[in-house]
Structure 1
Amino acid sequence: MIFTPFKINGKEFKNRLIMSALNTGFVIDNEFSDKVSEFYKKRAKGGAAAITTICAVNKEGSFNNMPFNGEGFDVFCNKMSNMLKEYECKHIVQLFHYGSGSTFQGEKREEFIPKNMSVEDIKHIVESFKKAAEISVENGADALEIEAGKGFLLSEFISPITNDRDDQYGDSFDNRVNIVFNVMKSVREAVGAEIPVILSVSGAQMTEGGYTVSDMVKLCEKAEKEGLINAVKVSGGWYNSKVPCETYFVPFETIGAISDSIKRNLNIPVITEGRLNSVTMGEKMIENTMTDFLAIGKSFLADYDIAIKILEKKTYNVCQGCNKCIESIMRGEELYCSYNPEAGFEYIENTHRRIATAKKIVVVGGGPAGMMAAKKSAERGYKTILITNESRLGGQLNMAGLPPKKDDIFKFIENLENDLKALDVNIVYDTFADFEKIKSYEPYFVVLAMGSVPVVPDVFKDKKYILAKDVFFGSNKVIENIKRGKTVIIGGGSLGLELAEFINDKCCICDENIDVLSKYTDIPLSDMYKKPDITIIEKLPILGFELNSTRETVINGLLNNDVKMFTDTEVIEVKENSIVLSNDKEIEYDNIIIATGSEPVSSTIAEELMNERISYSIIGDSDYVRDAEKALKDGFELFLRMFIA
């Protein structure tokens, strides 16, 4: 079903995969640069049926180097449309206004209370949407999309939380959507009946007191009835919802269910926006008439060839839903993908030609930095050998994929391993790479990516403790002991928090079993299941600072499971059955788990290579400890700007 054509308002799309709009931060003053061109060209060649680019309807409504309807946009839009047509890829232009907090610059935005616009301001905005629509269609746009979701301007009018007006644009729902209907009418008037017009909505605000699915059904039904739109695109909640939309906490099928609730009330196509992490699920959503198209912008960011790879039944780089891409844009930076460091650098990659050479590059370490370095080395044409002392690739990513909802990381490892095999990288497993082993390959260049090892605070030396990795990879006996006693986790960074999630997941019974037991037995659940007694100790003033937009969701989940947490707290003394804290508290324990971080693996290989005049580079945790995103970037950047003769 994914690769069957489908029409919107008589215009045929070659398949059901649309790259939804992403502000890249690459477009400076509407310039169609090589960076912009190559970014979108790769995704058009990768099989997208359509690519959606953003047009802020005026300068005031743009942010962070976004295309806007002003000087040069006509040329930008024309070049984009013509380029996409070369690959039978439709060009959808999203008409956009940021809303509250808009400035004339693209700097980081600070939250503030929105102020009400005058009626004249609103008329000006409606006219701006109309003019942007006209310019876009005149310069080759195949379809238009009106952004009325995710917390941007039009959705701020729809929401009773952000709209406190008492005139014709506020108070009742019908009044709050007036501006949306005025925009749709003006756009339709500008472009006529034949151009497909898509309304983009958040299916529900996903915030207490916000608008609901029923509200969106009412809006879309009326818009269709009046002939104003030809399709509806449905996403999850707003970017500042309690559970941010399109993170790994919101499965695609959840948004599909919201789409289904809207679609069953309409007679026009529905497009569902999210992350396509399961082809089977995407097919099921279309087959079960939950949706007609899959809008997967973040998935195209993670892998520009995703459509072709799905068609050819190959693995692809799955979007991890970490939301770092959106966070980068909201900070006023360029768009990037934590698990695809090539995104945004396609234009530089084109300057590297594959060379025919017998020169060998040896990569030591099979974690994210080593795997990425080996991939780029092989792509440059070097005979590449990757040596790992483990029986599988992935390094610490194999641990990162074990907490609840994080298993897509294993798909990332699988896909990158398949890339290495396709590039004929010689992967040597279960082998300790000392200097003599490395030298035996007669390398021209060596990449040292040996990773890191856990750090144990001095206060716990000579005490009984468990390392986080031994909980993740340990025997069932470890979990059994944790179930029976009081557990203290030392370290409240992402490792400590996700470890607590993992323990809770291992110790609980699934929702389906709870449902059965509550309906058909008289056994009190409190007699059958007790939440593990977990306390997290963090010396910094904030928990999980690396998690960013997913942090609150993770912490709230732990609080719901009665996990106790201390910040700004250190362990002063470890007694036989209790620990003394810097906040003058003393807590009992049965198990202490160390999740305080890591330090680079100690090695003399670099010195030995230097003594033998063999060139090398140290990357990833071997240099200094960092997260997977920075480790992958390290491996990529090593070969991005390095031209070895």
Structure 2
Amino acid sequence: MKYDYPHLCSPITIAGKTFPHRMFSAPMGGTDITNDGCIGPKSAAFYELRAKGGAAAVTVSECMVHPVTDGSHAYHLDTAVLNSLASATYAADAISRHGAVPSLELSHSGMYAGTYMTDKTRQHEMCQWGPSDTTRPDGVPVRALSKEQIDEIVQAYGTVAGLAKRAGFEMIMIHGGHGWLINQFLSPYFNHRTDEYGGSLENRCRFACQVLDAVRAAVGPMFPIEFRFSGSELFEGGYDLEEGVRIAQTLESRIDLLHVSAGTYQRGFGDTHPSMFKDHGCNVYLAAEIKKHVSIPVATIGGLNDPAQMEEIIASGKADVVYMARALLADPFLPRKVMENRSEDIVHCLRCFTCMAERAATGTRRCTVNPLIGREMEGDEVQPALVKKKVLIAGGGPGGLYAAWTAARRGHSVVLCEKEVALGGILKSEIALPFKREMFALTETYERFARNAGVEIRFNTEVTPEYVEKEAPDALIIAAGSRPLVPPIKGMDGEQVVVVNELYRNLDKISDKVVVMGGGLAGCECAISLGMEGKEVQLVEMRDALAPDANVRHRPLLLKEIEKQVKAVHTGYRAEEITPEGVWCTDANGERHLVEGTTVICALGQRARTDVVEQLRNTAPFVRVIGDARRVSTITNAVYQGYHAALDI
């Protein structure tokens, strides 16, 4: 077979094991970890979907090897715990039966033990252990590990690796990056020991070497051992790329695959997990440089989701393997689609951090563009309906499109009506923001899926009660979306005022001095984009904080971009009047201020189209309201609700 991406699709042999291609599934935390650290059935199904989608290897994350000094609520593997070995075996089998290599990531949180606990107060009650005595930035004291404790932890790595092999895992990944314990020993920032584990690079690498030796002794030869580390810690006081090269050279004789990531989790989340504000593959240069200095295969990671880019990485010798995490949540079948020359059908990750924010908030998983994530046990295949029906969809936004595609796959006759000349709903506005191009492109992807499934799409067609009566559908899904909230502020009708939803149609009207009214997510992202273009932007927000509607992972990175791209932020300001000179506002003390700008962007929120919903509510035997029409929320909820509305017909 001739592949569109021959280098990416070529096999690779590591420690005698041949992988069918170069696309591996990176470690991602599970969702139903039991109180004693067993892998729950939901988590096993979560990892299995990556294997079913064609990943060459799937890594289960993270197994903490020494609970006595690491109380993180993560996986453990301990024969003294009922079902521990069995649950690991079921997980490994769920992966391997689809042809993927199951790998288990072994880790220790060190001074950040308890990070994965939902109840952070319990984390602060724990004794924290690290290479050196210190106090964490949040005030938690850290005690230095004794040599006896270090020996215990080293032995624990070997013991757990042996159990992992017994359970059916065929590769081990040792986590030595992102600020966890091994990284803490490697880092001059964390490690201030004066014994054989501190000081020189050789000494700082000693713990990692001992861990790798213990793991090798447990699993034997010709069993792939992968070491994951940060090529550079990317902050002052940490090690840089030059020292990252030396660390790699020190460890390479003990490992079979070097997995080069970036940053330190606690000091640079946006480095380790590149956000939408960064280029895809922004960390690849670390792997590319390190690969020049080692003789073993090197893997890279960091916001990769485009097979053309991944092909170039492999073809040019920057890396031998590409890892993906979020990209395989958005589309678990990405590797299979690449291998089948169907890359145009890939659903691309938006890098919106919904997946990681949901885990932090509720201990579950969810993906904006893939309603299966976190609910894999419910089934990943759409089953045909026993009775075929006529389905009418009112609205061509992401929720309506996903509902139409799902209903058509079930065998229903589906008509989707969009009252405008283009699909996408609120996503149409994202074309104005270059860093959200994947979000805008999502409409094209869902539209192609819907059309290929047989959905009839009618433009310039508003669904009214009369229209429903004429079409006589068995089911009606109302996905009418929302409309922008435009309050009656004096001057709002001025030529210099642009509603944020319409920004993409009015880019030529935007002057060099802009005031954005509204510091929610939409207003902040608009301000950032205009600032990136070199415009002088000021942001006005009535509340005391910006972007409270942004998720907990995206918001800190968003605020950092605001600091870089926006000239001034005025919180606690209520807009009272818009003039050619700018926006007159009143602060909390009742004083008036002019925020100067010759263009004003109105980004004051959205309002559900409840009038449309009420008109259509009882017009068909089955009626379901989804997305913003139901309640102004997120694309995540619109897609999820659209999917399940179609399944319910």
Deviations 1:274-311 (A, max 9, x none): 33322111000000010001111221111111111112
Match of 2:3 in 1: none
**Which of 315-324 and 248-257 deviates more?**
248-257
Listed as ranges, the matches of 1:44-55 within 5 Å are 44-54=51-61, 55=63
Q: Is the 8 A contact 2:197 2:203 kept in 1?
A: yes
Answer yes or no: is 1:41 the counterpart of 2:48: yes
Give distance in 2, aligned partners of 1:547 and 1:371. Answer: 24
CA separation in 2, counterparts of 1:538 and 1:91? 49
Structure-to-structure mapping, 1:9-408, within 5 angstroms: 9-28=15-34, 29=36, 34-54=41-61, 55-59=63-67, 61=70, 63-64=72-73, 66-69=75-78, 71=81, 72-103=83-114, 106-109=117-120, 113=140, 115-119=142-146, 120-224=148-252, 227-242=253-268, 243-246=270-273, 247-314=275-342, 315-331=345-361, 333-349=363-379, 353-408=383-438
Deviation at 1:558, TM superposition (A): 3.8
Return the alpha-carbon distance in structure 2 between the equivalents of residues 576 and 471 of structure 1.
19
* Whole-angstrom distance in 2 between the partners of 1:557 and 1:594: 20
SS at match of 1:458: coil
Q: For residue 65 of structure 1, report the CA deviation from its aligned partner.
A: 5.1
Task: State how many pairs are aligned.
Answer: 610
Assess if the C-alpha contact under 8 Å between 1:56 and 1:69 holds in 2: no
Structure 1 residues 104 and 589: alpha-carbon distance in aligned structure 2, compared to 1, 3 A threshold: closer
Moved more, 263-272 or 317-326: 317-326
What secondary structure sits across from 1:341 in the alignment? coil
Aligned-partner SS, 1:603:
helix
Q: Distance in 2 between matches of 1:62 and 1:370?
A: 44
- What's 1:533 paired with? 536
Tell whether the 8 Å contact from 2:298 to 2:321 is kept in structure 1 after alignment.
yes
- Contact 1:404–1:505, Cα closer than 8 Å, also in 2: no
Deviation at 1:440, TM superposition (A): 2.2
Residue number in structure 2 paired with 1:529: none
8 Å CA contact 2:88–2:167 kept in 1: the answer is yes
Alignment of 1:527-606 (within 5 A): 532-545=535-548, 546-574=550-578, 577-578=581-582, 579-583=584-588, 584-587=591-594, 588-604=596-612, 606=614
Moved more, 74-83 or 8-17: 74-83
Q: Note closer, same or farther for the CA distance 1:325–1:552 as it changes in structure 2 (3 Å cut).
A: same
Q: 1:108, 1:332 within 8 Å by CA — same for their partners in 2?
A: no
Quick check: 1:492 aligned with 2:485?
A: no
- The 1:367/1:460 distance shift into structure 2, 3 A limit, reads farther
Does the aligned pair in 2 maintain the 1:609–1:615 contact within 8 Å?
A: no
Separation in structure 2 between the aligned mates of residue 276 and residue 27 of structure 1, nearest angstrom: 28
Range 629-638 or range 63-72, more displaced: 63-72
CA offset digits 1:249-295 (Å, max 9, x no partner): 34343222110111110000001123332211100000001000111
Q: Is the 8 A contact 2:476 2:620 kept in 1?
A: no
Query: Does the CA contact (< 8 Å) of 2:480 and 2:609 recur in 1?
Result: yes
Cα displacement string for residues 430-463 of structure 1 (whole angstroms, at most 9, x for unaligned residues):
2111122222221112111101111123334665
| Separation (CA, whole Å) in 1 of partners of 2:362 and 2:171 | 28
Change (3 A) 1:349 1:440: farther
Say whether the 8 Å CA contact 2:38–2:75 is kept in structure 1.
Answer: no
Matched residues in 2 for 1:466 and 1:249: separation? 24
For residue 477 of structure 2, give the secondary structure of its aligned residue in structure 1.
strand
Match for residue 467 of structure 1?
499
Query: What's the counterpart of residue 522 of structure 1?
Result: none
Where does the alignment leave 5 or more consecutive residues of structure 1 unmatched? 509-531
- Determine what percentage of the aligned residue pairs are the same residue: 25
Per-residue deviation, 1:503: 2.1
**SS class of match (1:116):** strand
Aligned-residue offset at 1:590: 2.4
Taking a change above 3 Å as real, the CA distance of residues 323 and 114 of structure 1, as seen in their structure-2 partners, is farther
- Range 3-12 or range 378-387, more displaced: 378-387
TM-score (norm 1): 0.88
Equivalent position of 1:623 in the other structure: 630
How far apart, CA to CA, are the structure 2 residues paired with 1:259 and 1:221? 13
CA distance in 2, matches of 1:456, 1:370: 25
Q: Distance in 2 between matches of 1:328 and 1:114?
A: 29
CA contact (8 A) 2:53 2:334 kept: yes
**Deviation of the 1:615 alpha carbon:** 2.8
- Equivalent position of 2:9 in the other structure: 3
Between stretches 10-19 and 568-577, larger displacement belongs to: 568-577
- Residues 21/7 of structure 1: CA separation in 2 closer, same or farther (3 Å cut): same
Contact in 2 for aligned 1:39/1:346 (Cα 8 Å): yes
Distance 1:326 1:151, change over 3 A: farther
Question: Take 1:332 and 1:164, find their aligned partners in 2: how far apart are those partners?
Answer: 36
Instruction: Measure, in 1, the Cα distance between the counterparts of 2:78 and 2:452.
Output: 44
Aligned residues of 1:37 and 1:80 also touching (Cα < 8 A): yes
Rounded to whole Å, the distance in 2 between the matches of 1:66 and 1:172 is 33
Q: Deviations over 1:65-85 (max 9, x none)?
A: 535445233222322333333
> More deviation in 494-503 or 458-467?
458-467
Question: Do 1:39 and 1:343's aligned partners in 2 also have CA atoms closer than 8 Å?
Answer: yes
Could you tell me whether the CA contact under 8 Å between 1:56 and 1:96 is conserved in 2? yes
Structure 2 unaligned segments of length 5 or more: list them: 1-6, 124-137
Provide the rounded CA distance (Å) in 2 between the counterparts of 1:474 and 1:321.
26
Provide, for residues 11-49 of structure 1, a one-character-per-residue CA deviation record: whole Å limited to 9, x for no partner: 111111111110122333565654334333332222111
1:115, 1:15 → 2: CA distance? Answer: 43
Quick one: distance in 2 between partners of 1:444 and 1:493? Answer: 39
Following superposition, the deviation at residue 626 of structure 1 comes to 1.0
Shift of 1:123: 2.1
Whether the aligned pair in 2 keeps the contact of 1:205 and 1:238 (CA below 8 Å) is: yes
**CA 621–562 in structure 1, closer or farther in 2 if over 3 Å, else same:** closer
User: 2: distance between equivalents of 1:415 and 1:404?
Assistant: 18
SS in 2 for 1:405: helix
Deviations 1:484-503 (A, max 9, x none): xx321111112112112232
Aligned counterparts of 1:179 and 1:268: Cα–Cα separation in 2: 21
Report the CA distance shift for 1:182/1:348 in structure 2 as closer, same or farther (over 3 A): same
Deviation at 1:332, TM superposition (A): 5.5
SS in 2 for 1:145: strand
Contact in 2 for aligned 1:197/1:231 (Cα 8 Å): yes
Q: What residue identity is the alignment partner of 2:100?
A: C
CA RMSD in angstroms, aligned pairs only? 2.5
